[in-house]
Amino acid sequence: MKTRRRMNVATYVALFPAFIVVVFAYLGTMLWTVQISFTESKLLPTFAFAGTRQYERLFATSRWSISLENMVIFGIGLIAVCLVLGFLLAAALDQKIRFENTFRTIFLYPYAMSFIVTGLAWQWILNPTLGLQQYVRNLGWTDFQFDWIIRNDRAIYVVIIAGVWQASGLIMALMLSGLRGIDQELWKAAKIDGIPTWRVYVNIIIPMLRPTIITSVVLLSLAVVRVYDLVLALTGGGPGISTDVPAKFILDYLFGRANIGLATAASSILLVIVLVIITPWLYYEYFRPKRERR
């Protein structure tokens, strides 16, 4: 049954900081963004109304549509691979293995490093004349080919590899903290019933990790929508503009190209896309009349 939770002054006091932040920082910025996107603003924000001109240009720019497409490819790839790898790593670490602390730190360290320079290391490794391809060829396999980073149609997958390298450790940490909460008794019971280990994981453990998985997906989605450093350091958006992403597009126009109008128009579109995607989820997760808590 549903507990009657009293409306409480303390609740409002506690939520006051968040309220201020939401109203002034988030809502304020969102409204400002949308407003500026309908102006002629270049280097400095101005309020000279420009109608939908920025949006017309935005949708006529092939770079923008390419970057949206890349965001989708990158997003699906990154989220899928990180969840699977993160879970496998966590499950492996959860088997009472030796050197757990060392392994965990190894999987997690990429998250701590500024990607501007680690990205350069990746760029070298993936460079066909400098990195892995050449190395393997020198070992004797002269046909070995791994030059995705210079191919227009493949380079975005290389960005996924580097993204997985950077983010899957964090997902591993989240999953691990979830796994550590699961009762030993459960394993004993499963053992007595003779259920194979993998089935316990698939049928019991993973469903129990649902809140962890949701948090992971939100974290990864944020990384996807905001991905910038990764692309900048690894491919610079290239070859050509083939690995461009929305955040890079927005930043280029916001800062380098001094066209705030176009940049805010792109941000507004991005917001609408996010809104369309997360609204059903938000509703499902938090807004619908709550069922009884199990």
Partner 1 sequence: MATATMTAGSTAPEPSGPRPKRLTADRVGLYVFLVIAAAFFLLPMYVMIVTSLKPMSEIRLGNIFSLPEAWTIEPWLQAWNSACTGLNCGGIKVGFWNSIRILVPSVIISIFVGALTGYALSLWRARGSNLLFAVLLLGAFLPYQVFIYPLVRIYSSVGIYGTMAGIVVTHTIFGLPLMTLLFRNYYASLPIELFKAARVDGGGFWAIFFRLMLPMSTPIIIVAVILQVTGIWNDFLFGVVFAGRENLPMTVQLNNIVNSTQGEKLYNVNMAATILTALVPLVVYFVSGRWFVRGIAAGAVKG
Partner 2 sequence: MKQMTKALFGAAAMVALMAGPALAQEPLKLEVFHWWTSGGEAAAVQEFAKEFNAAGGQWVDTAIGGSGSTARPIGINRIIGGDPPGAMQFNTGTQIDELAAQGLLRNLDDVAAKEGWKEALPPAFYEAIVRDGHVMAAPVNNHGQNWLWYNKALLEKNGIAEPTTWDEFFAAADKLKAAGVIPVAVGGQPWQLNLMFNSILLGEGGKDLYMKVYKDLDPAAVTSPEFKKVAETFGKLRDYSDPGNANRDWNVATGMVISGKAGFQFMGDWAKGEFVLANQVAGKDFGCILGPGEKNFVMGGDVFIFPKLKDEQGTKAQDLLATVFMSKDAQVKFNAKKGSVPVRLDVDNSKLDACAQIGVEVLKDPAKQIPATDILASQDIVQSLQDVVGEYWATPTMTADEFVGKWNDTVAQAK
Cis geometry, peptide bond prior to residue 207 (ω within 30 degrees of 0):
no
Among 21, 30, 43, 48, which residue interacts with partner 2 (rule: CB under 8 A)? 43
CB neighbour list of residue 118: distance below 8 Å, 6 or more residues apart: 110, 166, 233
The alpha helices in 139-239, defined as continuous H runs, are: 155-179, 184-192, 197-200, 206-208, 210-226, 229-234
Check if the beta carbon of residue 39 is closer than 8 Å to that of residue 46: yes
Asked if 44 is part of the footprint of partner 2 (rule: CB under 8 A), the reply reads yes
In the region spanning residues 153 to 172, those forming contacts with partner 1, defined by CB under 8 A, are 165, 169-170
Asked if 120 contacts 253 with a C-beta cutoff of 8 angstroms, the reply is no
**Residue 215 binds which one of partner 1, partner 2, none, with CB within 5 to 8 A depending on kind?**
partner 1
- Binders of partner 2 among residues 254 to 283 (CB under 8 A) are 254-259, 262
Interface with partner 2 by CB under 8 A: which range of 73-81, 146-154, 164-172, 205-213? 146-154
Q: How far is the CB of 192 from partner 1 (least distance, A)?
A: 12
Task: State the number of binding residues for partner 2 (CB under 8 A).
Answer: 36
Tell me how far apart the alpha carbons of residues 252 and 263 are, in angstroms, rounded to a whole number. 8
Query: Does 106 contact partner 2 by CB under 8 A?
Result: no
Residue burial 213-230, b: 16+ Cβ < 10 Å; e: rest: beebeebbbebbbebbbb
Q: Return the range that interacts with partner 2 (CB under 8 A); candidates 15-23, 90-98, 119-127, 222-230.
A: 119-127
Place of tokens 């941000």: 267
Residue 189 contacts partner 1 per CB under 8 A:
no
Which member of 1, 9, 60, 139 binds partner 2 (CB under 8 A)?
60
Smallest gap from Cβ 191 to partner 2, in A, equals 53
Residue 6 DSSP symbol: P
Can you tell me whether residue 187 is helix, strand or coil? helix
Residue 213 binding result from partner 2, partner 1, none, given CB thresholds of 5 to 8 Å by partner type: none
- Cβ 36 vs Cβ 45: under 8 Å: yes
Given the rule CB under 8 A, which of 58-66, 67-75, 102-110, 150-158 is the region that contacts partner 1?
102-110
Q: Which residues bind partner 2 (CB under 8 A)?
A: 42-44, 57, 60-61, 63, 120, 123, 127-130, 147, 149-150, 152, 155, 234-242, 252-259, 262
